[in-house]
Structure 1
Amino acid sequence: MAKRKRAIPQYGTVVLNGIEYYRTRVEDSDGNRVALYAKTPEKLYDKELEALEQIDSTTFRRRSPTVIKPLGDMYMEEVTADDIRLALIPLSNKSESLHNTVNMLLKCIFYSAERSQLLEYNPCEGISAKGGKPTQKKDSLTDQQVEVLLETVKGLPPYLFTMIGLYAGLRREEALALQWDCVFLDAPTPYISVRRAWRSEHNRPVISTTLKTKAARRDIPIPKCLVNCLREAKAASKSEYVIADSEGQPLSYSQFKRVWQYIVVRSTKERTYYKYVNGQSIKYTVQPSLGGHQKNNPNIVYSLDFDVTPHLLRHTYITNLLYAGVDPKTVQYLAGHENSKTTMDIYARVKYNKPEQLFDVVNSAFHQAVPS
């Protein structure tokens, strides 16, 4: 079987001491631009991902949320979008620049916490810059989008991770730590036990039995489509891990990013590249068209005209349970939510967002109050 090409970004090149290197630049935690070099695009991509992870970690440590009043006495998981809006009120009569700077600082803090898997919900998602329009929370994938996504990644490295997210609702750290001893395919009711969590330290995977919360420890019944998928994967697996690298070890941070890149490069989302020509960085953008082929790799087809993130797979799982009429308390257990507010917020968006859908509910609730 022919080896698949890795989805590597397009890098510019530079000649140093007569040797050609691939080069890119990243912004460190102090805002300085740092150049990275490597002799191959693959090595440069690994180096870039490792550097970004370390920068994210440094940024989070330096920008502790406890210094921002009035949020300083709150745990991060307790902070809501309304709390952040209240914290920004004293800045409403200040300059737009100051308001936006503090706003961006808050977003960096909570985004880093979310990236580090410390938070399930980022309260800054709906906060806009001063005078701007609030951003919308991403909806779950539709049935049609799920079908297109699975058809796109069928036979590619992210397929198994995608199936687990869509049909078991595991968090990224739960899926990457999943071992075959916690997958019960031959039980009368096949299920997955969540007992371990993955994290990355200096781009090295660490597997722990310490889960995000007590509620994360759960047994999840799985549908037939996922059972069949896992059965095929297990038959071909030589590792104790469900999702593993070529040596049977759990994925590192950079390895997972490369796996997910198979999805990213097949989307029609606009891309920005920097190419170095005669020592100068030239910025250019590409807007792929649906159904088109990547110029450098014709095997890659732009088939996804919607955004997909690892968390969106889990969000789709939870939303589909609620659409199917599963009561929120059961969904809370299956999702591993310790706080019912997270589940109920999703439930409210699913159930109570369109007046025409509420007509029968309201009339049924007040039918006895109607005068004869």
Structure 2
Amino acid sequence: MPKLKKRADGRYQRKVTLSDGRQKIVYGRTETQLKAAVSALLAEDDACLQVGDHTLVGEWAKIWLNSYKTSLRAATVRMYRGSYNKHIMPVLGCMELRDVRPVHVRKVMSSISDKSESTQSKVLLTMRQLFETARQNALLLRNPCDGIKITKHAKSTTKKYLSPDQADTLMQTVTEPRARAFCALCLYAGLRKEEALGLRWGDIGPTSMTISRGVTFPDGNQPDPSMELKNRASRRVLPIPKKLREVLLSTPHIGEYVVPTSTGDVMTSTVYQRLWKNHVTSLLDFPLHAHMLRHTYATTLYRAGVDLRTAQQLLGHATIQMTAEIYTHLEAEDSLKAVHRIDEYLEKCISSAASDVYKRQG
């Protein structure tokens, strides 16, 4: 190891020879700091890290998005880009990749701790993948996101699905044909919003229908021409329940799509929002968003005794854990209802005991 040298400004320095023959001078205000800096430099060199690289987080983010994310669905790319631009760039964008530590990642997460768990998860996922690919490309020694978690919030007590009475009220109240067909597709077949908007009459057979496209609006109002589904599991064949069949038979064909614009074209974001507000939510006396209809379908599967694996396939979930989470939540709700049966049993026991005492006293 080269000799330790103390500079005129009080700092210590040592010249280190790297594996490629290059020499680098390392500094420290104390001998302990210098030793740590030398150890870190040698560790980076041993790991084949590009010693001396000064790539900024913002520079790598552009490379990462263009090299790793361009093949994804437009909506997914927009999620990554939005998470970075809005929440990560203001804090980390001007930092060098090699300087980012867990404390800096925590600073980003702290700035969004009041946001939804979904937003936090997307931001953390973006950072984790951003830094992991940098590590794989020898720009980092370790991922600074390791061990970082989101801030959990108290779960909302608002139900995510409709009761049977609310579902009946919905279908009796909504009379506009396109809005009615949309609600029925989500309520009775569990279609996602984009899947219902992407369904064509040609996808519907005598007893089943094929889900093969989705209408999303990644850039604002106009639909994404690719019409890609959310994931591979989303492509599926679904049975058509009797109630859905009745609605579809009464829906006029004004274009190739089941839920089109008034002129029969593929739906735009503005037209959909207007349809949903004017012909659905404004007519109801309970809150409703489109995903609640799909969640109601999942609840129907659970109440009907449909097994977990089949439910996963019908819902088009990428993993069975997603379906299990819904089923587990419903099981927990059912367990709370057991208190009524417990009370009834205890009352019977008390009444029976009281009757025995009365008989003995008599």
The TM-score with structure 2 as length reference comes to 0.54
Q: Which residue of 1 aligns with 2:316?
A: 336
Q: Which residue of 1 aligns with 2:250?
A: 232
Q: Which residue of 2 aligns with 1:280?
A: none
Query: What is the deviation of 1:135?
Result: 2.8
1:199 aligned counterpart, secondary structure: coil
Query: What is the deviation of 1:63?
Result: 3.0
Q: Which residue of 1 aligns with 2:213?
A: 196
- State the superposition RMSD in angstroms: 3.9
Tell me if the contact between 1:328 and 1:343 (Cα under 8 Å) persists in the aligned partners.
yes
Tell me if the contact between 1:59 and 1:112 (Cα under 8 Å) persists in the aligned partners.
no
Q: Which residue of 2 aligns with 1:218?
A: 236
1:67-116 CA distances to partner (integer Å, 9 max, x unpaired)?
Answer: 999xxxxxxxxxxxxxxxxx9x978xxxxxx9874214565846999xxx
Show the 5 A alignment for 1:79-94: none
Show the 5 A alignment for 1:351-362: 351-353=331-333, 354-355=335-336, 357=338
Tell me the amino acid that sits aligned with residue 326 of structure 2. Answer: I
Show the 5 A alignment for 1:152-163: 152-155=173-176, 157-163=178-184
Show the 5 A alignment for 1:1-372: 59-60=82-83, 62-63=85-86, 101-104=111-114, 109=119, 127-128=152-153, 133-136=154-157, 138-155=159-176, 157-184=178-205, 187=206, 190-200=207-217, 201-208=219-226, 210-233=228-251, 236-262=252-278, 266=282, 303-304=284-285, 306-353=286-333, 354-355=335-336, 357=338
The structure richer in strand per residue is: 1
Query: What is the deviation of 1:127?
Result: 3.8
Tell me if the contact between 2:174 and 2:280 (Cα under 8 Å) persists in the aligned partners.
no
Tell me the amino acid that sits aligned with residue 243 of structure 1. Answer: V
Distance 1:310 1:111, change over 3 A: farther
The structure with the larger Rg is 2
Q: Distance in 2 between matches of 1:221 and 1:176?
A: 18
1:205 aligned counterpart, secondary structure: coil
Q: Which residue of 2 aligns with 1:269?
A: none
Q: Please, which runs of 5 or more residues in structure 1 have no aligned partner? A: 1-54, 70-86, 92-97, 114-123, 267-301, 361-372
Q: Distance in 1 between matches of 2:318 and 2:299?
A: 17
Query: What is the deviation of 1:198?
Result: 1.1
Higher relative contact order (CA 8 A, sep 6+): 1
Tell me the amino acid that sits aligned with residue 62 of structure 1. Answer: N
Query: What is the deviation of 1:358?
Result: 9.7
Q: Distance in 2 between matches of 1:191 and 1:312?
A: 23
Distance 1:243 1:110, change over 3 A: farther
The number of equivalent residue pairs is 228
Q: Distance in 2 between matches of 1:243 and 1:125?
A: 38
The TM-score with structure 1 as length reference comes to 0.52
Query: What is the deviation of 1:203?
Result: 1.1
1:196 aligned counterpart, secondary structure: coil
Q: Distance in 1 between matches of 2:199 and 2:336?
A: 42
Query: What is the deviation of 1:154?
Result: 2.1
Tell me the amino acid that sits aligned with residue 232 of structure 1. Answer: S
Tell me the amino acid that sits aligned with residue 271 of structure 2. Answer: Q
Q: Distance in 1 between matches of 2:121 and 2:276?
A: 19
Tell me the amino acid that sits aligned with residue 63 of structure 1. Answer: K
Identical pairs, percent: 28
345-354 or 253-262, which deviates more? 345-354
Distance 1:358 1:65, change over 3 A: farther
Q: Distance in 1 between matches of 2:170 and 2:240?
A: 20
Q: Please, which runs of 5 or more residues in structure 2 have no aligned partner? A: 1-77, 93-102, 124-148, 342-362
1:258-301 CA distances to partner (integer Å, 9 max, x unpaired)?
Answer: 111125652xxxxxxxxxxxxxxxxxxxxxxxxxxxxxxxxxxx
